[in-house]
A and B are shown apart, each in its own frame.
Chain A
Amino acid sequence: MVKNGESPPAATQREDELLVQDVLRGESGSFDTIVRRYQSIVYAVSYRLVRNREDALDIAQEAFIKAFRSLHTWQPTGAFKSWLLRIATNMSIDHLRRRSRMPAFVERDAVGQLEPDAVDERVRIKEPSERASESELGSAIQTAVDKLPEKQRTVFILRHYEGLSLKEIAEIMNCTEGTIKTHLFRATGKLRDELGAVRRDFMRG
């Protein structure tokens, strides 16, 4: 059901440390290796948060560039992946805040850009009889996730969609695991309430 989130093994952490040291020594090729290692997750997290391909691509790039510029400030006490994802998450949230101040912008993104693609994708896969209900379900879930407060939504996306462990999420969000559990508990509760009717229909069907 859900990807099993595990902390990065010590070996990965050690490799990251060595790569960062290489980059700081001036071997910029090692930064390519870092980019390849984490580009998928950085993009995926940004995409899940901003739900727009172009913006996610821009944010993912910016996140790596910012990481490159402030690589000397990274402390190996925490995982490199978490540090990188913190940058990407913060940038995505900043982007969303900026976007929320531009009503026209949000409207076009939400209606014109993301939804038709996402719906089309499912329509191609599913049987015709399922079409309407499945796409309704998809947009109901998206609306419910969108309604979550910023932190709950971020935590939920990181845990549920990207399968990061609670410990990793705590590092990314710069808080305790207890706080993350609370956010997640509230988020799942709100989603359950929001999707109550739809859930009952589907459980019956």
Chain B
Amino acid sequence: MLRCYRARKLIVPYLYGELDERARTQLEAHLDRCARCAAEVATRSETLQLIDRARQEVDYPERFEHRFPAMVRARIEMDDREPAVARPLWAPSPVRQVAVMFCTLLLGVLIGSSTMVFGGLRSAHYSRLVNDARQLEAVRKAIESERVLDQLVALKVQLAEEGKVHSFAKVAALENVLVDVMPLSDAEQRARYLARNADSEVVAGNFAEASRMYETLLQSCPESPLASDARQMVAFIAKEKLADYPEAARQYEVELARAEQRETTERMERAAFDLAETCLAMGEYDKAVDAYWSLLERFPTGSRTPAAMLKLSDLYFDRFRDFGTARELYYQLASGYGGAIDEMGARPRVETRLAMLEQSARYGFKPVEIFVEAAGITDQRAFGLYEKIIHMYPNTVVAKLALDELCVLASGPDLAPLASIDALSDEQRIDALRTVIARCRRKDVAAFAHMAIGDIFRDQIKDFRLARREYQYVLDRYPEYLEASEAQSRINKLVLAASEEDRRRS
């Protein structure tokens, strides 16, 4: 016989079907006799049914199944903080700089607290501690201020732009540490949670989801120092990963306005530049030009000046065909920003274009104009235009470039629209030049191409016999053209060099 006290212990397992057969029979027998226990079971059972009726399903994030393992993996890697490339200890690294600041902060906190604990110690010792603490307090304030977060934000956006996911993860981890030690309001605490999740989505490559999370952060915590970071990331993802340019432009405009309000130059400049870049990507060239100019006017010595200037020059050259302005800008770039154009890998382009423009200025930039026009098309008409340049402006930089383009066109339809002359080996280039000779309608173009073949034999392959044969051909075949006299002088130089070589040997 089961008593009420025992029966009650069985009610929960009974309700959840976890009783064995014997216990269940015993309990049911008891319930038949005991109205109170039966009511206990009935009311609880009804309650559970009621709760099931309004059961709320778990709200899983989108594509949780697939994304989650990647997020965890990314977070584990993020915490590992192993340098991707071994860096010498003395090498300056932005991450290291912030890490040093962070250590200083900890030291500051430690010394600060020891000052309080040992406040009653000897006065000299005490005042030294207070002095140290004051200095460290200044450092701490600097870290607390938006400045440090700004630097981190800039760094993160830059790393994301460069696709350096590992370093991005490290900076994000560092940012987490920094934000952790700062005194935070509730809103910022919340922002931190959101930012951390969004960052790990970036590391895991889930950009749409990351963007959504950054936007949640923006909406729920617009005043947080992380909001600027989030806006930059939303804009960056919209521009680079989702090709949603209008959204990117909108975000950069807001960022620019906010930076202007707070007068943070670095952020203002960055937002202005990114806005210009987005306009360019959208194909809104007029807007882009305005944006780049406004950047140059407002931040003439800023870190993005050379990049903006380069974009402007290219726009004037390729898009607007305003060669006078392009010449001026390329000239300023080449003369004042040598280091920057090297860094951007733009020196060959800047120098070639500048040379073209300088030389063709006296023809009212006509050859360059034809050149740019030809560059915009790839069919037989382009071939004719390049020939025209070589014919009308012989022995100029533009003529040489036109011959290069003819080679690219001649080396086949697959290559033509994409590749530059640099993609061709010496042999391929000679083959291409022979095709140009076969296809071209002007004798002077053919002579010019033969000369170019001779130059390749002479300068690249170092086969002087073949070089001489090529020059000789020009001399014999095209005696009435300018190239013939040039060929003669090159043959003479080769003969002279050969006899000197013989004399030296004997």
Instruction: Tell me the A residues contacting B by CB distance below 8 Å.
Output: 1-2, 4-5, 28, 31-32, 35-36, 39-40, 43-44, 47-48, 53-55, 57-58, 60-61, 64-65, 68, 102, 104-105, 108, 117-118, 121-122, 134, 137-138, 141-142, 145, 159-161, 165-166, 181, 184-185, 188-189, 191-192, 195, 198-199, 202-203
Contacts and interface: CB of A to CB of B under 8 A. Distances in A.
Contacts of B15: 2, 188
Given A48-B58, A105-B189, A137-B54, A199 B47 contact: yes
Nearest to A6: B18
Interface in B441-484: none
A77 B309 CA distance: 68
B2 to A, nearest CB: 16
Contact of A47 (B12, B48, B58): B58
B12 A184 contact: yes
Interface in B40-74: 43-44, 46-61, 64-65, 68-69, 71-73
Contacts of A1: 48-49, 52
Contacts of A108: 190, 220
A42 to B, nearest CB: 9
B76 A54 contact: no
B313 interface: no
A188 B216 contact: no
A189 B48 contact: no
Contacts of A68: 72, 76
B94 to A, nearest CB: 26
Among A2, A57, A199, residue most surrounded by chain B Cβ atoms (within 10 Å): A57
Given A35-B69, A36-B69, A185-B11, A43 B58 contact: yes
A102 B187 CA distance: 10
11 contacts: A2-B17, A2-B52, A32-B73, A35-B73, A53-B59, A54-B193, A121-B57, A137-B50, A188-B48, A192-B44, A203-B46
A159 B197 CA distance: 29
Given A2-B15, A138-B56, 13 more contacts: A1-B52, A2-B48, A31-B73, A32-B69, A43-B64, A44-B58, A48-B58, A58-B197, A61-B200, A105-B189, A185-B9, A185-B11, A191-B47
A104 to B, nearest CB: 5
A60 B16 contact: no
Contacts of B48: 1-2, 160, 188
B44 A141 contact: no
Contact of A188 (B44, B55, B71): B44
A68 B80 CA distance: 12
On chain B, which size bracket covers the interface? 35 or more
Contacts of A145: 51
Contacts of B13: 166, 181
Interface string B134-162: 00000000000000000000000000000
A117 B18 CA distance: 34
A186 to B, nearest CB: 10
B50 A202 contact: yes
Nearest to B44: A188
Contacts of B64: 39-40, 43
A35 B68 contact: yes
Nearest to B66: A36
Given A61-B200, A202-B50, A159 B58 contact: no
A110 to B, nearest CB: 13
Given A35-B69, A102-B189, A199-B47, A58 B58 contact: no
Contacts of B50: 137, 141, 195, 198-199, 202
Contact of A54 (B47, B69, B75, B194): B194
